[in-house]
Chains A and B, each alone.
Chain A
């Protein structure tokens, strides 16, 4: 068999362009939309459906819509009645909060947003941040309640709308976190009594719907208290949300604790560190870093779940909207109102989940 013995080739440097069918817009369309006859069919079908549905929707939502009229004018017109939002905006967002004092919940929300934006940058994650958050939360509470520093006292029964939603979610998560961490540590404990108590609590709470806990908070909690003592409704709902969220945080933190190599514990034992110091200085900082993305996901869930307080008649964002819709003047425009509320929730949750994904990517890159 005579084989090619020797062959040398000079490296060619001339550039040959790839065929036009795989490059540029034509290439992209061919590869992404029409790569097979089935795909081509799907593409055509989807474009047809979009053609049928999008123009009428835009016509309804933007062309024929009314933005600043009243109910009767809206009923006569055929398009979307965004006036239901624009005319009732302040009630939907702030609930029964006194009109002239509404700058206070607005300021509260602004502080919250500012804190969130500040926390986005991971270079700011130092002890200072924790103090900033604590002061921020305190400030928000003071602003909402008033009664000191010359601010008019506003009863919590008048709190409502978006600030109430944010309050329930943020305070809920903040208070639930330490409880959740304790539960997770308790679940890992070698002491059987403590471990059993924690497991029972976690499994019980995770197995029942939030609504049952909210029911419990509104009808059963009052029975637990001695005669004459009463806690306002918002606080009861807040406690229910805290107890609920803590169980989920406990599971997530448990996952984080299990992700820590056993060598870490062994190292601390050889150093003679106490249990408290081991947890506080070595284990928890590492575990909490791992669980930040799933924790943001719990925050998003908590934010969405606050909408359930509608059922126990607390005036969060959803309930204020429903009140507006029960007004005879604005009855029948649920679609527009709900789209608005959905947009608010969507924007908040979208930014949070986007952040969580970005964070996960950054932390993964670091760990690799």
Chain B
């Protein structure tokens, strides 16, 4: 039985509204350390909103979120503490265009973790090597392709040494030939034991590394299962419809 200390994210009875729109309904989720979860569902189902609540890029109105024991409230100290432990990779990369690749990576460590510059750069080069892009360190984001930029974005999050990595449709904005290079990096990360929550439609990725796949629709988690069972034996009728649509 997994002990409570190993529960790294606990979400209880979470509700969120945008004005009158109920975008997250009664979300209950427990994520264990080292677990890899893929969330999929139609657009507008609230998947991105859910993971953005975890690092407080969105505020929830009802329910509780605990990240590594700390509850997410309006207390800014808690929020900063949690953000430093949770890394996020965005669909549109969001690299800082006015800084070099190296500076993009060292920004967080220098200003948040107060690490000396030389040490930060060394660590940055290590992670750039890990995502196979060390030779571009002195270039600017505008000079890189989409796939390269996303790999840099992953390295940038890793420099903060997070315990949890959130991915918000990391490959949706990429040309098809670049999707594989990014997925490879994510698979490597998974094999090293990182806790990952990934919003994505990439079924191959889900099947190879995910422990669980979640299906969300209209703000609710409707089905949660192992990848194999999820794709071959969908129980919920909406999930069956969804799978038939993405398996064209």
Binding site for B on A (CB under 8 A): 1-9, 11-12, 15-16, 18-19, 22-23
CB of A3 to closest CB in B, whole Å: 6
Q: By the criterion CB–CB under 8 Å, are B22 and A8 in contact?
A: no
Q: By the criterion CB–CB under 8 Å, are B2 and A5 in contact?
A: no
Task: For the complex of A and B, list the 9 residue pairs with the smallest distance between their C-beta atoms, beginning with the closest.
Answer: A18-B17, A7-B224, A8-B235, A8-B223, A6-B225, A19-B61, A1-B2, A9-B222, A3-B211
B75 is an interface residue with CB less than 8 A from chain A: no
Q: Kindly specify which of B26-34, B47-55, B143-151 makes contact with the partner chain.
A: B26-34
Q: By the criterion CB–CB under 8 Å, are A22 and B2 in contact?
A: no
Q: By the criterion CB–CB under 8 Å, are B61 and A18 in contact?
A: yes
**Size category of the binding interface on chain B:** 20 to 34
Q: Which of B15, B25, B30, B235 is close to A4, meaning CB atoms less than 8 Å apart?
A: B30
Q: By the criterion CB–CB under 8 Å, are A19 and B1 in contact?
A: no
Given A12-B25, A16-B15, A5–B225 Cβ distance below 8 Å? yes
B156 is an interface residue with CB less than 8 A from chain A: no
CB of B35 to closest CB in A, whole Å: 7
Query: Please, how many angstroms separate the alpha-carbon atoms of A6 and B215 in the complex?
Result: 12
CB of A30 to closest CB in B, whole Å: 12
Q: By the criterion CB–CB under 8 Å, are A9 and B225 in contact?
A: no
Q: By the criterion CB–CB under 8 Å, are B17 and A9 in contact?
A: no
By beta carbon, the residue of chain A nearest B211 is A3
B62 is an interface residue with CB less than 8 A from chain A: yes
Query: Please, how many angstroms separate the alpha-carbon atoms of A326 and B218 in the complex?
Result: 72
Query: Please, how many angstroms separate the alpha-carbon atoms of A184 and B97 in the complex?
Result: 33
Q: By the criterion CB–CB under 8 Å, are A5 and B226 in contact?
A: yes
Total A-B contacts with CB atoms under 8 angstroms apart:
57
Q: By the criterion CB–CB under 8 Å, are B224 and A11 in contact?
A: no
Q: By the criterion CB–CB under 8 Å, are A2 and B2 in contact?
A: yes
Binary A-proximity of B90-130 (CB < 8 A = 1, otherwise 0): 00000000000000000000000000000000000000000
Extra 16 A-B pairs, beta carbons < 8 Å, given A3-B211, A4-B30: A1-B35, A4-B224, A5-B225, A5-B226, A7-B223, A8-B224, A9-B220, A9-B222, A9-B223, A11-B238, A12-B25, A12-B220, A16-B15, A18-B15, A22-B17, A23-B20
B229 is an interface residue with CB less than 8 A from chain A: yes
Query: Please, how many angstroms separate the alpha-carbon atoms of A7 and B211 in the complex?
Result: 13
B236 is an interface residue with CB less than 8 A from chain A: yes
Query: Please, how many angstroms separate the alpha-carbon atoms of A2 and B226 in the complex?
Result: 12
Q: B20 to chain A: which residues have CB within 8 Å?
A: 18, 23
CB of B15 to closest CB in A, whole Å: 7
Query: Please, how many angstroms separate the alpha-carbon atoms of A1 and B32 in the complex?
Result: 9
Q: Which of B35, B220, B221 is close to A3, meaning CB atoms less than 8 Å apart?
A: B35
B217 is an interface residue with CB less than 8 A from chain A: yes
Given A3-B212, A6-B225, A7-B225, A19–B220 Cβ distance below 8 Å? no
CB of B17 to closest CB in A, whole Å: 4
Query: Please, how many angstroms separate the alpha-carbon atoms of A30 and B221 in the complex?
Result: 31
Given A7-B225, A8-B223, A2–B25 Cβ distance below 8 Å? no
Q: By the criterion CB–CB under 8 Å, are A4 and B238 in contact?
A: no
CB of A206 to closest CB in B, whole Å: 30
List 27 A-B residue pairs with CB atoms under 8 Å apart, sorted by A's residue number: A1-B2, A1-B32, A1-B35, A3-B35, A3-B212, A4-B212, A4-B224, A6-B225, A6-B226, A6-B229, A7-B223, A8-B222, A8-B236, A9-B222, A9-B223, A11-B217, A11-B218, A11-B220, A11-B222, A11-B238, A12-B220, A15-B22, A16-B22, A18-B15, A18-B61, A22-B17, A22-B61
Q: A19 to chain B: which residues have CB within 8 Å?
A: 61-62
Within 8 A of A (CB), among B1-31: 1-2, 6, 15, 17, 19-20, 22, 25-26, 30
CB of B230 to closest CB in A, whole Å: 9
Query: Please, how many angstroms separate the alpha-carbon atoms of A177 and B157 in the complex?
Result: 54
Query: Please, how many angstroms separate the alpha-carbon atoms of A15 and B221 in the complex?
Result: 16
By beta carbon, the residue of chain B nearest A9 is B222
Within 8 A of A (CB), among B230-248: 235-236, 238
CB of B45 to closest CB in A, whole Å: 11
Q: By the criterion CB–CB under 8 Å, are A9 and B221 in contact?
A: yes
Q: A11 to chain B: which residues have CB within 8 Å?
A: 217-218, 220, 222, 238
Query: Please, how many angstroms separate the alpha-carbon atoms of A4 and B225 in the complex?
Result: 8
